[in-house]
Chains A and B, each alone.
Chain A
Amino acid sequence: MSTNMLIEAVDVHRSFGTTPALTGASVAVAAGEVVAVMGPSGSGKSTLLHCLAGIYLPDSGEVRFDGSRVDGLNDTARTRLRRTAFGFVFQFGQLVPELTVADNVALPLLLGKVRRKEAYARAEEWLDRLGLSGLGGRRTGELSGGQAQRVAIARALVTRPRVLFADEPTGSLDSLTGEQVMDELMNVVRAEGTAVVLVTHDARVASYADREIMVRDGKALTVGAVGR
């Protein structure tokens, strides 16, 4: 067993009713490593991401983060872990439309009991880093797709998580906008040393990663160079 891995799944099985989604998936991601998860539709990529992030519990197998079992933790402990150590970006629908951009980015900090002033100051900082200066007061419904994904990235990283889980983060963007969002995302995660689990169908997006993992029929096939 590799010991220097930040997050890993070992022989994870997970079914939904009678549908097997994962049938013995093993993956390991080192600290600061960016890994693309690819594979056909329905192969189990999102399920794998949810298991790694402690959102779904595996039926069998183990999930470890920073050397400790995640699958043994109770709901409260897993929720806490997700809030403090993990960040999430999805294809759409993750921002709260009634709130402003700054509210959305500050939200994870406020939930984590950071003082209001401090939370908004940090949110502002992250908006600047992602090229969104001056947009803090907008409602998220008034943003372009690319801007909305940048806000989602700022929100995911504002707590400075160890791992960012991204499921098709550029899936609803055109090529050029997707590329710009990936450039920004890579800049910040490299600067922060955040590990990234990046689910994508798009090989050009996957080519930003250090290596790729192929998921086929619920099994993960690790390929490419390990480490950086």
Chain B
Amino acid sequence: MSVPLTLLGLLDRAPSHGYDLKRHYDTLFGNDKPLSFGQVYASLGRLTRDGLIESRAEPGDGPDRKSYAITDAGHGQVAEWLGEPVEPAPHLQTVLFVKVVLALLLDRDAAGYLDLQRRTHLARMRELTEIKRTGGPAELLLADYGLFHLEADLRWIDLTTARLGTLAETVRIAETGKNA
């Protein structure tokens, strides 16, 4: 995810100090990976250099006496970014996929692996469902996002489980070049 663009988006709502901006970001998007102050100030520096935001010094002392505000160019940039679709990344080369193909090639227990993965996925889905029940709006949206993606994995896991017999046969034929 683009940290500078996200910070720019937050500044499109209201001007902010670097510290508040970081807190706002962490609450909405940080999940278990909060931004470092280094990242925040590096991003703000870049945005200022590109003319997308302006800083204003405020009276008083301490490091956080600068308030940042979006410029017209910055406003345009956010509008453009929000209007663009993201790359539909098919996540094809996940470890999950690689493990199943290898298990089939090596004639290991692919079904056992898939069952275990299914259980692990569902356990995580239970946690996310619980987060939805107890968490705030940003957590709800994030948990939903996770749930739908895990569900997609699960459907693939179920389908692959159902296809294992045929798949193993196909892999064997491809490897030995003959019907078993």
Contact = CB atoms under 8 A, between A and B. Distances in A.
A155 B18 CA distance: 56
A223 B126 CA distance: 14
Contacts of B125: 203-204, 206-207
B47 to A, nearest CB: 37
A224 interface: yes
Interface stretch (B8-16, B20-28, B98-106, B146-154): B146-154
Contacts of A183: 133
A207 B119 contact: no
Interface string B148-164: 10110011001000100
B122 A204 contact: no
Nearest to A223: B119
B162 A207 contact: no
A212 to B, nearest CB: 6
Interface residues of A, number: 14
Interface in A16-63: 40
A207 B118 CA distance: 12
A207 B147 contact: yes
Contacts of B128: 207
Contacts of A214: 115, 118
Interface string A196-218: 00000011101111001010000
Interface string B133-177: 100000000000001101100110010001000000000000000
B129 A203 contact: no
Interface residues of B, number: 19
Contacts, number: 37
Contact of A224 (B123, B147, B150): B123
A40 B151 CA distance: 15
Interface in B91-110: none
A221 B125 CA distance: 19
Nearest to A207: B125
A202 B115 CA distance: 16
B154 A224 contact: no
B158 A207 contact: no
Nearest to B159: A40
A203 B119 contact: no
A213 to B, nearest CB: 11
B123 A204 contact: no
B122 A203 contact: yes
B81 to A, nearest CB: 27
B129 to A, nearest CB: 4
Contacts of B133: 183
A97 to B, nearest CB: 33
A224 B125 CA distance: 12
A204 B147 contact: yes
The 6 closest A-B CB pairs, nearest first, are A207-B125, A207-B129, A203-B154, A207-B126, A203-B151, A223-B119
Interface of A: 40, 183, 202-204, 206-209, 212, 214, 221, 223-224
Interface of B: 115, 118-119, 121-123, 125-126, 128-129, 133, 147-148, 150-151, 154-155, 158, 162
20 contacts: A40-B158, A40-B162, A183-B133, A202-B151, A203-B125, A203-B151, A203-B154, A204-B125, A204-B129, A204-B147, A206-B122, A207-B125, A207-B126, A207-B128, A207-B129, A207-B147, A214-B115, A214-B118, A223-B115, A224-B119
